[in-house]
Amino acid sequence: MNKTIANAEEAIKGIEDNMTLMLGGFGLCGIPENCIAALVKKGVKGLTCIANNAGVDDFGIGLMLHKHQVKKMISSYVGENAEFERQLLSGELEVELIPQGTLATRCLAAGYGMPVIYTPAGVGTEVAIGKEVRKFMVDGVEKEFLMEYAFDADYALVKAWKGDTQGNLIFRGTARNFNPMMAMAGRTTIAEVEELVPAGELDPDHIHVPGIYVHHIFQGVNYEKRIEQRTVRKR
């Protein structure tokens, strides 16, 4: 099955106001740059975005924040985005901060078809307010675990190094990060890749995400690959 589409604009045409999106990446590494740019151009509003972080002020999800397209952020880290901070403190943006491991596992649960997970992270903190806590025996000791629901996202937007026309994906280095688990979790998954090859060209042993999880794939353009914080050594 050929899942190839022309470009990011065609890929996101089904995304409408008030939808929930998963966006792969960690910092600025492995983010779906082309899809984000297309969303900014389209101008959809009221989005709930599930991502490790919100990019920076002038790149990544930060571009969507400046256009006030994001209603709610579900993320683990927000430290590099001044506009994110401003909107949070002013009450313009709803934010759900969750432990990074919980974020990852809620993505995995959605991909695996599990309705909930139980985690010790957040027990006894503000994270647990209003949530169910259960006790389980672990190594002979009764411990408390917080129940968290699997994510329910309309779309997952991911970025891979290489993919084929059937949607099989290969990631490169740390750009893999949240992308594979989010690719599994979205109702509709869109993958943008740096290199798109015909089906059969990828070594099956090297594939990180099988094409069964991917609905649409396209070859991206003009990747900037920015560095979030560039640090150099003094001479």
**Cβ neighbours, 10 Å, residue 189:** 26
Quote the pLDDT of residue 34.
Answer: 97
| Domain definitions of the chain by residue range | 8-99+151-219, 116-149
Residue 153: what pLDDT? 97
Q: Is the pLDDT of residue 229 over 80?
A: no
Interatomic CA distance for residues 217 and 228, integer angstroms: 26
Tell me the whole-structure pTM to 2 decimals: 0.93
Most confident of 90-99, 202-211, 226-235: 202-211
What CATH code would you report for 8-99+151-219?
Answer: 3.40.1080.10
**pLDDT (0 to 100) of residue 7:** 97
What is the rounded distance in angstroms from the CA atom of residue 108 to the CA atom of residue 117? Answer: 10
Based on DSSP, count helices (H) and strands (E) in the chain, helices before strands: 6, 11
Whole-number average pLDDT of the chain:
94
> Which residue's entry shows tokens 């991909």?
111
pLDDT in tens, 109-120: 999 999 999 999
Q: Average pLDDT of 48-74?
A: 94
CA 127 vs. chain centroid, Å, equals 20
What are the structure tokens assigned to 109, written together? 């649960």
Q: Which helix (H) or strand (E) holds 82?
A: helix 82-90
Distance between CA 44 and CA 70 in Å, rounded?
9
pLDDT for the residue 225: 78
Share of the chain above pLDDT 70, in %: 100
